[in-house]
Every structure is written in C-alpha cells, then in structure tokens.
Amino acid sequence: MKYAEITGWGSYVPPLLMTNDDMSKIVDTSDEWIFSRSGIKQRHYAHVSVGKMAWLACDRALAAAGVDPEDIDLIILGSTTPEEICPNTASYIKNELGAKKAAAFDLNSACTSWFYGVNVATDMIKAGSIKKALVVGSERISLAMDWQKRESCFLFGDGAGAVVLEASDKKVGLLSSHMGCVPDSRECLHLPSWGMSPLHWTGDIFISLNFEGQEIFKSAVRGMSDSISHVLEQEGLTAEDIDLFIPHQANMRIIQTLAKRLNFPMAKVVVRIDEYANTSAASIPLALCDAIADGTVKPGMTILTATFGAGLTCGAGIIKWGERVTAKTISESEIPEYDGSVFDLMADSFAHYGVDAQHLLTKNP
C-alpha cells in the first residue's frame, strides 16, 4: 500500500504588520480588548495577490523536498480569497512554478480548505493516480474586512503555507482523516455577495463579514471534537499517544477549550495565532512550517490536526511524520517588499468603509 509522505514545506508571511495598537487607530478597540478575547497580538497584511504568495510558499516547499516542479502531478490551492472564480488561481501557480504536467484546481471550504486539499491529494496518491502533489493554503482576507465592525475586523491576517506530498512505501503522512460539516450552522459565518449572486448585480461591492461569535465557538468545538474522536478511534490511539497538536488558529479560547476536552497539555499544542491571527486556509500550514523551523516537529512524531471553517466545515487528521525535518535545499526566490506603511497599503479599504485614516498615511517627500 502507498502512503503520502510530507517531504517538503514552505511558507510566505507578508512583512507588513497591523498590530493591535495600529488597529486601535482605525476602530474603537485596544490591545487588551483584542488579546483577551482572541489571543491575537498582530496580523500580517499582503501587498501581493493570493497566487503570488502561494507561488513563493510552493517554491520554498519544492526546494525543501528537493523536487523539480516538472515532476509535480497535481497542485491544489485551498483558499477563500482566490483572485478570480474563472480561471482558477491554481493554474497561475502552476505556470509560475513551471510545473508543466501538473493538473491544478482550487478548493474552497473556507478555513478547512488546506486540510481538505491534503486529504484529497493523499487519497489520490494512495489510489495510485498521482505520485507527487503540492497543496497550498493562501489567503488575503485583509481585502474582506469591514472596518465598521470592531467585533470581527481584527481577527484575520494574510499569508501562505504549502507542503509537498510524495508516494511512499513507509507508513507516514496523513494516516487517518475525517471531514464533516456541522448541520444548520451555515449562516453564522459568511460573506454575503462574495461570489456571483446575484448574477446581474452591478453596484459597488461592499463586503461585510457576518460573524456570530458564540454560535461559531460552540459549533467549532463540537465539530472538531467529533472529528478528533473519529480519527483517534480509527487509528486506535488516545490523546496520550499524540506527540503534537496543530489546530486551526482561529481563536485562543477555542484552542484552549479543545485541548481541555482532550485532556491535552497546552505544552504540546502549536499556537501561532498571536503572531498571524486567523489566516484561514493558510493557518495550519503556517503553524506547521514554524514548528518545523523551531525544532518542535521531531522525526517520527504522531501529529494531530483539527480545523473548522465557514459552512461550518470541520475535520481532523492523524499525521505520522517521516525521518527528515530539515530542508534538502533552500529557495532563493523572494517577493519585493512594499514601499510604504500598512496604512498606505490599506488606504483604499479604509476609505471604502468610510474610515478617516488620512492622518496615518506616510508622508513621502
């Protein structure tokens, strides 16, 4: 039987920061108010597209795996914020990488998109239809923030994370997984008119996230707990057998509640929400890449992951890590930095939502 080993990993985090103190200059909030409710200290905002961020994360993952782009059979982009509905953004990534023979498609299940993509690619490798795949989560959710909603505009950040999956005879990679969708919970987290409905609407786009915090909290914890129980039972494991837990980074309270339900020590939980906020589909791969970089991920570890997103989609998986935790090579590719402040970058967005931030713009001579 074939398995799908994670052989490469890479990420891109935009250099521009929007700290909680910066946020308080835009909306009626404070660092203490935000951090106490979410665990977030800052978020990164992108000056380039979802596809460009994904390209660099994938390029770095390929270098870490020592795999030539032309050997990739499939590229899956998990994202809620693709550049276009048609054609898909994955085809842009394919072309930028030079992955000539690769099939490419986008997958949108909101924050669960990257994990669902890993599940799909793993099953295809196990079935023998492909041998090598790239799965990337990339989001530019800063474009969708309604600056008139203090309860949700601070929650999200931008970034991209990718992995290379390769067919292996060793029992490694995503061994067990469960994907689900909490019934009758679709309306508690959604972006109305984020798509092609109504088809003939030609007015100015005014994106505003509908966010029902308490209902999301309850449904997310329930959905992830059920999925975790399913995969633990499937593998014949208990929480004590798990070496590391990498959950979706949506809210510190959700992470802590989930760990408590599992009787899982926070010392074994990877938490990066303070640094990145909620990066949706990029959340877990960003946390994974950081955990590899700082030595938290060790050879042979049994890793649990769990996620939820709008829908409310949810899922969990058991990953058996291989022997390698260092990159074979390092990509030299880069994205030029933005020449300006985060307030310059977001000036059009602030103005669109009626926020007066002119006094915060950089005065360049």
**Which residues participate in catalysis according to the annotation?**
111, 248, 278
Pairing outcome for strands 173-181 and 132-140: unpaired
First CA to last CA across the chain, in angstroms? 64
Residue 58 phi, psi dihedral angles, 5° rounding: -70, -40
Number of neighbouring beta carbons within 10 Å of residue 205: 8
Do the beta carbons of residue 112 and residue 307 sit within 8 Å?
yes
**Cα separations in angstroms, 206 against 83, 187, 231, 349:** 17, 18, 40, 10
Cα(272)–Cα(264) distance, integer angstroms: 17
- Helix, strand or coil for residue 70? helix
The tokens describing 152, both together, are 């949700």
Element (H, E) at 224: helix 213-235
Do the beta carbons of residue 43 and residue 156 sit within 8 Å?
yes
- Helix, strand or coil for residue 189? strand
Per-residue b/e over 52-89, b at no fewer than 16 CB within 10 Å? bbbbbbbbbbbbbbebebebbbbbbbbbbbbbeeeebb
Helix axes 213-235, 252-262, angle to 10 degrees: 40
What DSSP string describes 7-37? EEEEEE--SEEEEHHHHTTTSS--HHHHHHH
